[in-house]
Structure 1
Amino acid sequence: MAPVLELSPEYLDAAATYSMEFPDDVELPSIADRLQAINDLEEGPTTFEEGFEESILAVVWRCGWERSLLEATQRGDNLARDRAGTQLLGSADEVLIERWVEDPDRIWEQEVLDPALAGDLEPLKADLVNSCGYPFVP
């Protein structure tokens, strides 16, 4: 069984605000650090549009659960795999995902999630690399 990690206040606040559960078996990056890293890439002051932090939260939420699903499946932890799968199966209906992720035909679910739940982890691994990056890439 994976270690249970303590969630930082920013994720606890988001969980309370949006009624979202974040995985507690995957280390999640600091949203403030992610914003600072983007700011550091720019030359001069950076202004973020309203909702930018929410969009990062949506990505972190999905990527965290993807990593949880991958690791649980690889170690044969069916309970954790089912928990992650349940979270991801309902993701299209989550407020932040609905607001910030455009996938009306649920292509991600068909091409990434369904194969992972059926035991084919390759599309999930590719999505972690292509859509999530550090620290979610195994």
Structure 2
Amino acid sequence: MWKRAGRPLAAALLVTAFPAMAGTLTVETAEGRVLLTERAPEGSEWCLSWNHSVTGGHVADCFVNREGRMILSRSYLHDFSAGLGEVEGRGGRLVNAPEGGYWLEGIDQPMPDNALPVRIGRPSTDHRLSVGGRQHRLSPLAAGERVYLQLE
């Protein structure tokens, strides 16, 4: 597990002290700097979006809290550029998106350790996290850094 020693205890104390925060999504750098914390209760969805590094087109991975597990539920692809499309061995079905592009729906892939490691791109990549009706721009906070999206 990627967490530093002592962090799981702090997370357990936070959930115990603030039961309304159960189901918390945290974005933290590899060095332990917390960039943001948001509620992510059972059934909620959050999406990590960015601009494709070659084409500049919109890409997104969307996750849900399902029984306390971080599940990759669907992905948006503007086209089938380098590195995009269906992944062999991964579930899901391709659906045309009304705004153009494609959604790969029904992926239902649990994330190991309830976490997603991400290298945040430069400002032109513009990594964004949408959760609870709010959008957080991650590139200005941590461009070039490895961060972890963690459901606790």
| Same fold by TM-score greater than 0.5 | no
Q: Name the TM-score, length of structure 1 as normaliser.
A: 0.27
Q: Name the TM-score, length of structure 2 as normaliser.
A: 0.25
